[in-house]
Copies of this chain bind each other. A is one copy, B any other.
Amino acid sequence: MTKTRLEAFSDGVIAILITIMVLELKVPHGTEWSALRPIVPSLLTYLLSFIFLGIYWNNHHHMFHATERIQGNVLWANLHLLFWLSLVPFTTGWMGENHFAAIPTAVYGVVLLCAAIAYTILQATIIAGQGEHSQLAAAVGDDRKGKVSLLLYAAAIPLAFVNQFVSDAIYVVVALIWLVPDRRIESRIATPPRH
């Protein structure tokens, strides 16, 4: 089965998610600088979520680039990932409008954790279909980054009830870990000569 449409559909969904978050940035009514102040938290949350969705798109891109063929269950594992990502604009809006209050911050982490789990499942599904000696399996390796992210999210959720800014800091740390594109896969793929 070809992966072209799966990529196109995922591109479409992530492109829409990354842009409809902007609709949560309500146009202020005043025209002074102070009119922008209430949307600063929304803007910061938007930036964070933009980076997270950008990371997912990036890694999704690299992962399917290293994928040779897909089975029917990959379609569903992919939709499962897209479902959790589709909740990001909602939690982004809730956290941003409430200036990083405890519960919205925790719920933001829950959705990120579920998305990360869904990504891990998707990765495992693809590898299962390709065999352990596939290009992707080699590139992913022991998936240290993925495991660390899962742990950090799992820590950030309860910590939001202690001090939500600790959780926010953890989200930023996870984003920074991933901002470096997944060179593991890229370097493996780059090895064979391409023309």
Contact = CB atoms under 8 A, between A and B. Distances in A.
Contacts of A1: 65, 186, 189-190
B103 A27 contact: no
Contacts of A127: none
Interface string A18-39: 1110111101110111011000
Interface in A1-29: 1-2, 5-9, 11-20, 22-25, 27-29
B19 A86 contact: yes
Contacts of A97: 27, 29
Interface stretch (A71-79, A114-122, A137-145, A149-157): A71-79
Contacts of A94: 27-28
A163 interface: no
A5 B7 contact: yes
A58 B33 contact: no
A103 B186 contact: no
Contacts of A17: 19, 22
Interface residues of A, number: 67
Contacts of A71: 186
A126 interface: no
25 contacts: A1-B186, A1-B190, A5-B7, A5-B65, A6-B61, A8-B11, A9-B11, A11-B12, A12-B12, A12-B15, A13-B18, A13-B19, A22-B89, A24-B27, A27-B94, A31-B102, A35-B103, A36-B107, A50-B86, A57-B79, A58-B76, A61-B75, A62-B72, A72-B181, A72-B182
Interface of A: 1-2, 5-9, 11-20, 22-25, 27-29, 31-33, 35-36, 47, 50, 54, 57-58, 61-62, 65, 69, 71-73, 75-76, 79, 82-83, 86-87, 89-90, 93-94, 97-98, 101-104, 107, 179, 181-183, 186, 189-190, 194
